[in-house]
Amino acid sequence: MNTTMHSHIKTILWSEDQISRRVSELAAEVSADFAGCSLAPIVVGVATGAFLFVADLVRKIEFSVPVDFVRAESYGSGTESNGAPTISLDLKVDINARHVILVEDIVDTGHTLSRVIKHLKSKGASSVSVCTFLDKPARRKVNVQLVGEGKFYRGFECPDCFVVGYGMDFAEQYRNLPYIGVLKPELYE
């Protein structure tokens, strides 16, 4: 607690300003794509990592959207998920016959997203789009199968390294960093 979390960061990949500009662009895309729908889409964030992105994104969407969260947990090492996440927090909002925009912090292997999409489909979503702030396609193990006419939105392509900040943690730390960066390697040991 004596040193600032900023001193733990080796490199900043996306600054607070860059994040904010990209979130505005994504919100404009989403607003335009769903403007003609009779019922607004439902935004479903994946807790905990997506909480800041959800908060920023929905405030820039131009119509009223219901917001809910799910939590998916996998038991992997500190920096990698294993292949079998389970849903440990379920939705409160009814998504049956509704368009859903699933909001994630980062898609890595794709296991978490695939599991959550399957869950939303089983609850009757008529389409599932994905809006992830970061995408690491180099590490994908399972393809992300959208539902119905669902679209895939992404903020930035992330290089193959472990990042923290803007909601993303290392051992529950650094989520509140306002930018996205890479930790100094000695902090992983």
The contact set with ligand 5GP (CB under 6 A) reads 46, 49, 81, 104-113, 162-164, 168-170
164 binds, among ligand 5GP, Mg ion, none (CB under 5 to 8 A by kind): ligand 5GP
**Least gap, CB of 32 to Mg ion (angstroms):** 25
108 among known catalytic residues: yes
**Least gap, CB of 175 to ligand 5GP (angstroms):** 8
> What would the 3-class secondary structure string for 128-164 be?
EEEEEEEECHHHCCCCCCCECCCCEEEEEECCCCCEE
Quickly list DSSP for 42-80.
EEEEEETTTHHHHHHHHHHSSS---EEEEEEE---BTTB
Q: Which of 28, 51, 66, 65 is nearest to 166 (CA)?
A: 51
- Which of 34, 174 has the CB closer to ligand 5GP? 174
| Structure tokens given for 178 | 């306002």
- Which of 40, 51 has the CB closer to Mg ion? 51
**Least gap, CB of 152 to ligand 5GP (angstroms):** 14
Q: Which residues bind Mg ion (CB under 5 A)?
A: 46, 49, 105, 169
Residues identified as active-site: 108
